[in-house]
A and B are shown apart, each in its own frame.
Chain A
Amino acid sequence: MKPRSKRIAMIAGGLAALAAAATLVLTAFQQNLVFFFTPSQVAANEAPQGRTFRIGGMVETGSVRRQPDGVTVRFIVTDTAKSIPVVYQGALPDLFKEGKGVVAQGRIGPDGVFQAKEVLAKHDENYMPPEAADAVKRAHETSRKAAQTVVGGDGR
Chain B
Amino acid sequence: MIPEVGQVALALALCLALVQSVLPIAGAARGDRAWMAVARPAAQGQFLLVAIAFGCLAWSFAANDFSVLNVATNSNSHLPLHYRLAATWGSHEGSLLLWVLMLGFWTVAVTLFSRHLPQDIVARVIGVMGLVSVGFLAFMLFTSNPFDRLVPAAPDGRDLNPLLQDPGMIFHPPMLYMGYVGFSVAFAFAIAALLSGRLDATWARWSRPWTTAAWVSLTLGIALGSAWAYYELGWGGWWFWDPVENASFMPWIVGTALIHSLAVTEKRGTFKAWTVLLAILAFALSLLGTFLVRSGVLTSVHAFATDPRRGIFILAFLAVAVGGALALFAWRAQRIGAGGRFDLVSRESLLLTNNVLLMAAAGSVMLGTLYPLALDALGLGKISVGPPYFETVFLPLMAPALFLMGVGPLARWKKAELPELAVRLRWALGVSVVVALAVPFIMGRFSALVGLGIGLAAWIIASAAVSLLDRVKHASSGAGIAARLASTPRAYYGMLLAHVGVAVFVVGVTLVKGYEAEKDARMAPGDTLALGGYTYRFDSVREVQGPNYVAARATITVTKGADTVATLHPERRVYRVQEMPMTEAAIDNGVFRHLYVALAEAVGDNAWIVRVHYKPFVAWIWGGCVLMALGGILAATDRRYRALSRAPQAAAYAAALAR
Contacts and interface: CB of A to CB of B under 8 A. Distances in A.
Q: Do they bind each other?
A: yes
Interface string A27-50: 011011111100000000000000
A71 B522 contact: yes
Interface in A110-156: 121-126, 130-131, 133-134
B368 A29 contact: yes
Contact of A125 (B367, B371, B578): B578
Nearest to A92: B601
A66 B603 contact: yes
Interface string B357-385: 10010011001100100000000011111
Given A29-B367, A32-B389, A70 B521 contact: yes
Contacts of A69: 522
Contact of A35 (B163, B242, B302, B383): B383
A3 B367 contact: no
A55 to B, nearest CB: 11
Contacts of B601: 91-92
Interface residues of B, number: 50
A133 B244 CA distance: 21
Interface in B213-239: 233-234
Main secondary structure of the interface of B (DSSP, over half): mixed
B299 A91 contact: no
B396 A24 contact: yes
Nearest to A21: B360
A14 B356 contact: yes
A71 B385 CA distance: 27
A66 B521 CA distance: 12
Interface in A72-104: 89-92, 94-95
A14 B382 CA distance: 35
A91 B393 contact: no
Contacts of B557: none
A100 to B, nearest CB: 12
Contacts of B51: none
B244 A131 contact: no
A1 B415 CA distance: 13
B135 to A, nearest CB: 28
User: Range of interface residues on chain A?
Assistant: 35 or more
A33 B520 contact: no
Contacts of A17: 353, 356
A134 B301 CA distance: 12
A143 to B, nearest CB: 20
Given A28-B393, A94-B583, A134-B382, A89 B520 contact: yes
A34 B385 contact: yes
Given A25-B363, A70-B607, A32 B397 contact: no
A34 B372 CA distance: 10
Given A10-B344, A122-B299, A123-B163, A91 B385 contact: no
A54 interface: yes
Contact of A94 (B299, B364, B581): B581
A121 B232 CA distance: 13
Contact of B600 (A32, A33, A92, A133): A92
Interface string B97-112: 0000000000000000
Contact of A70 (B341, B580, B603): B603
A36 to B, nearest CB: 4
Contacts of A21: 356-357, 360, 364, 397
Interface string B597-628: 01011010001010100000000000000000
Interface in B556-609: 578, 580-583, 598, 600-601, 603, 607, 609
Nearest to A25: B364
A124 B393 CA distance: 28
Interface in B142-182: 161, 163
Contacts of A71: 520-522, 609
Nearest to A134: B382
A25 B383 contact: no
A6 interface: yes
A65 to B, nearest CB: 11
Contacts of A94: 234, 580-583
Given A24-B396, A28-B392, A70-B609, A33 B244 contact: no
A22 B359 CA distance: 11
Contacts of B360: 18, 21-22, 25
Given A28-B389, A32-B386, 17 more contacts: A1-B344, A18-B360, A21-B357, A21-B397, A28-B393, A32-B388, A32-B392, A34-B383, A36-B384, A66-B603, A69-B522, A91-B609, A92-B609, A105-B384, A123-B233, A123-B244, A134-B382
Interface of A: 1, 3, 6, 9-10, 14, 17-18, 21-22, 24-25, 28-29, 31-36, 54, 66, 69-71, 89-92, 94-95, 105, 121-126, 130-131, 133-134
6 A-B pairs with the lowest CB-CB distances in the bound complex, closest first: A70-B522, A91-B600, A32-B389, A36-B382, A28-B392, A21-B360
8 contacts: A31-B388, A32-B388, A36-B381, A36-B382, A36-B383, A71-B522, A71-B609, A134-B382
